[in-house]
Amino acid sequence: MNALTLWDLLPTRRPKRKARPNRRVYPAPAPTHSSTKKPPTGMQLRYEQVTREMLTKYGVRVRKWRTSMSGVAWQVTYQDGTVSKLIESPKPKGPMSAAIFLHEIGHHAIGFGTYKPRCLEEYYAWKFSIDTMHELNLNVTDRVMERMHDSLNYAIEKALRRGLKRLPGELVPYLEPRRTAG
């Protein structure tokens, strides 16, 4: 009697497949102008430089570059006492995105909770942003100033809804909504 081995239980080899005829390989299409990345311009390089400098100077880390023109700043204090300074913001590529980025950096530069009420902290974060843009010779457009006004007006209205008793003097110019041409 012949004893079977494990090798006897394995299926037999399949016959080799016939070689397929060579398939034609088409070269990748040449990139079009819109899909190639253009070298950065002078202002793009300037915005990148300012971004690196501000993040380093204030020890801030970007959690996410936003595609919208909005931002948020916060910090996390760990049990061992270390603090992580974080922001989400649009990447500075023009006056508006730079202003919003610097506004979020401003929250860390002035320090959270330094100014009360919260709408006053917003004012000083915007002041930091605009002052820094002037110091760095970045273009502060009318639209940036309108955004600052709208943002501070919103912060004041929110504070009033939440029971603000006394409006700080710095915020009086932002109490009324901006007058739009009509």
Write the pLDDT tens digit of every residue in 13-71: 766 666 666 666 556 566 655 556 778 789 999 999 999 999 999 999 999 999 999 99
Write the pLDDT tens digit of every residue in 59-110: 999 999 999 999 999 999 999 999 999 999 999 999 999 999 999 999 999 9
Give Cα 64 distance to the centre of its chain: 5
- Closest to 125 in 3D by CA, of 153, 99, 92: 99
Going by C-beta distance under 8 Å and a sequence separation of 6 or more, which residues neighbour residue 105? 54, 55, 58, 60, 73, 87, 128, 129, 132
Domain extent listing, the chain: 40-174
